[in-house]
Amino acid sequence: MLPTVPGLAFVRPLGQGGFGTVHLARQHRLDRDVAVKLDNRVLTTERDQARFLREARAAARLSGHPNVVNVYDAGVAEDGRPYIVMELCTGGSLADVLRERGPLPVEEVVEMGARLADALARMHAAGILHRDIKPANILVNAFGAVKLADFGLAAILDAHAESTVTVGALSPHYAAPEVFAHAAPSPAGDLYSLAATLYTLIAGSIPRTIPWPADSLDQLVGALNAPVPPIQHAPPAVNAALLGALAADPAARTDSAERLRDELSGLRPARQAPRVERRRRAAAVLAVPALLAAGFLGRGFLPPDERTAEPEPPPESAVAAPAGMAECPGHETDGYCVADRCFGGLVNSADMQITARPIPCADPHAWQAFSGLPLPPEAATMTGTQILALPQVSAACSTRVMTARAGVDTAGWAVEILPSPDRASVLCLASEPGAERTGSAFGPG
C-alpha cells in the first residue's frame, strides 16, 4: 500500500532495493516528475522521526553541487515510513551505462571521477558519509551529468537504529575491506568505494572478487587483501591514483577525497603506493583479528570440523611490519621507521579515542610520525595512557628515538602517540613547538 504524500501522485515503481522502493511521482504544483524513495521500515518514535528529518536536512544542503542528486523534500508518511523526494535522473545509472557500452574510455572516467571525488569531498566536509557508492548509485541526468545518489541515505534511513549498516546489506565488490569486520563507516570507506567504481568503469571488471557469503575465513581474508592488478590500458598516473585509493589497509589508503580529486585532475602527482606484497601481508595481519572479533567464526561459516578449533597464532617471522612502516637498521628494539606521515592537530576524547587528520608533509602540519609498532591484542580496550605505558611503546615513542631519527634539532619538541582505529598499531608523533612545519623532519632511517 502506498501512503498519501501531500502534493505528490505516485505513478509507478522505478526500482527496488533491500529496504525500500524508488517511485516515479508527479509533483502537480510545479508540474514536474520526481523520484520518491519510500522506505519499507517504520519510524515509531518522535525521536527517530526527528533524527531522520535532521539527517535529511543535512543531506539537502549538498543539493547545489552539480554532481549530487538534488533533494527536494523529505518526511514521514502517516504510516510511519520515511520518504525522500529527489531529482529524477532520466539517463539511468552508470551500471546501466556499463551494461550498454562496456568499459568506458579512460579520459571519460577520469573526468567524471574528479567531479565525483569533489562531490564526495564536499559531503565529508559537511559530515555526511555515503556508505554505498557503486555504479548503480551514480545517476545520469537529462543533460548527461553524473550525480551521486543515495548519499547519506544509509544513515538517514537507519535513523531508528543504533548500529551501522549491516554487512548483509553492503555491496561486497565495492565495500572497503574493513567494512566486513563491522568497522564504523568512515570517509576512507567511501573513498575506496568510489575508486572501486571508477576502476570497474575503466577495466570492465571489479578490482577484487569478494566471495559473499564466504565459505571460510581464510577465503574471505585472502580475497579482501588480494593485490589489485593495474589496468593494462590506463596511464601509470591513473593506475597510481586508483590503486592508492584501493589499498586494503585504510591507513595506507589515499587520505582524502580532495587528494583523489587532485590526482585525477593532474593537479598533483599520485603518490606511489607501498609495495603490493608487503601491503597485502600487513593488511592480512590486521584483518584477521578484526574479523574474528566481529563474529565471522559463527555457526555455518566454517566447516564443522573447524568450528571449535582455536586459531593458531602466526609464527613470529610471519608477522610483517604494519602498513606504512619499515625495518629501521640499527634500532631493532625501537619500533619501525616511518616516513612521510604527517597530521594536523590531535583530538583526544576521554583518553579512549585519539584521532588526527592526515596532511601531506609538504603542507603545513603540526605532527609527524617518527616511529611506529604493532600493538598486542589487549590494546584494543586500553586507554591512550595505558598504551603509552607499554614498555615497547614507551621505548619506541621516546625523545631519544625521536632525536636519533631526526634530520633537524628536536630540542623541546613534544611527543604523543596515535593508535590506529582498530588499535592494531600505533604511531609515535613529534611536534615542533610554536609553529607548523612544512616538509619532512624524519626520514626512513
Cα torsion 262, 263, 265, 269: sign? positive
Active site residues: 131
Check: CB of residue 2 under 8 Å from CB of residue 76: no
Report how far apart, in Å, the C-alpha atoms of 413 and of each of 54, 143, 221, 358, 434 are.
43, 55, 40, 19, 10
Phi/psi at 234 (5° precision): -95, 145
Set of cell numbers at residue 299: 555457526
Alpha helix positions (H), 62-212: 94-101, 106-125, 153-156, 187-203
* Residue whose entry in the numeric block shows the C-alpha cell 574493513: 178
Report how far apart, in Å, the C-alpha atoms of 58 and of each of 151, 184, 317, 434 are.
11, 20, 49, 37
- 37: annotated binding-site residue? yes
Check: CB of residue 150 under 8 Å from CB of residue 132: yes
> 113 by DSSP, 3-state: which?
helix
Cβ of 68: how many Cβ atoms within 10 Å?
A: 22
HSE-CB of 91 using CA atoms within 13 angstroms: 17
Q: What is the DSSP string of 209-243?
A: ---SS-S-HHHHHHHHTPPPPPPTTS-HHHHHHHH
On the 0-12 / 13-18 / 19+ scale of CB atoms within 10 A, 412 is exposed
Check: CB of residue 388 under 8 Å from CB of residue 417: yes
Q: Which residues make up each annotated binding site for ATP?
A: 37
Q: Which residues are annotated as a binding site?
A: 37
